[in-house]
Amino acid sequence: MNEKRNPKRQKPLPFKMPVTDFNDVQNLDDGILFPVEEIAQYPLPGYVSPTSISFSPDDSLISYLFSPDNTLNRKIFTFDPKTNKQELLFSPPDGGLDESNISPEEKLRRERLRERGLGVTRYEWVKTNSKRKAVLVPLPAGIYVHDISHSKTELKLPSIPASPIIDPHLSPDGSMLAYVRDCELHVMNLLSDESKQLTHGAKENGFVSPVFG
C-alpha cells in the first residue's frame, strides 16, 4: 500500500525581508523601513569607488577620482605604492562642476556619455617633462594645470558661459591642448601659452551650436 506522505513544511527564514511600505511595517514586529531618499539616491549604496584610474608619467603614483564623502562631488587623489599613502592632489576651486554652472553644450555632452559626476569629472597628466608632475583639469571656469612639485595651480585658459571650452584634449606629448570654442577648433601651446584657431567659417557655412544657434 502506498502511504500518504505529508508535504514537508518550509522552515521559516531566520531573517525578515526588508519592506518599504510604512503600513506593512506596522504589521511586522521586526520590519525594516528604508526611507525613499536612500532608495532613490545616487550614487547607489556600495557603488562609490575610485574612477578614472591612471598612472603618473614616471609610474610613481596612481591617480584617480574619488569622493571621500560618498557623493557625486569628486576630487583627484593619488596613491603612492611605495609608502601606501593616499593624498588629495587637487580640489576644484569653488567646488568645481555642479548643476548650476554646467553650460548647455556641456550638458548635452554629459547626456550622451551618461555622465553624472560633479566636482572634477576629467583630468589628464601633462607629459611635457618626465621630471615634472602636473595634471590638466577642465572645469567650468576654464582649464587648470596643477603642478605637483610646486603645489601650484594655474588657470591656463579661462572659459565663460557665453563661450565655453568644449571637449579639451592633450596631444600625445602633452605640449599642445586641442579644444572646441564657438563651433571652431582651437589649439594651445602649453609651453608658450599661445592659442591658435585652426578652423574658420563654421557659423558662416551654416553650422551653429545646437544650443546657442
- The pTM assigned to this predicted structure is 0.67
Q: Which three cell numbers mark 105? A: 553644450
- Look at residue 130 in the predicted model and tell me its pLDDT: 59
CA–CA distance, 212 with 206 (Å, rounded to integer)? 13
Architecture in CATH of 37-197? Beta Barrel (2.40)
Mean pLDDT of 14-28: 49
In whole angstroms, what is the distance from residue 47 CA to residue 213 CA? 39
Q: Got the DSSP string for 87-145? A: EEEE--GGGSB-TTS--HHHHHHHHHHT---EE----EEE-S-TT--EEEEEETTEEEE
User: Average of pLDDT values for 176-202?
Assistant: 90
Which residue, 122, 114, 205, is CA-closest to 166? 122
Q: 142-183, pLDDT tens digit by residue? A: 899 999 888 889 999 998 878 888 889 999 888 899 999 888
pLDDT tens for 86-113 read 999 999 887 777 667 677 777 777 777 7
- Calculated CA dihedral for residues 50, 86, 151, 190, nearest 10 degrees: -40
C-alpha–C-alpha distance, residues 69 and 130, integer Å:
33
Inform me whether the pLDDT recorded for 25 exceeds 60. no
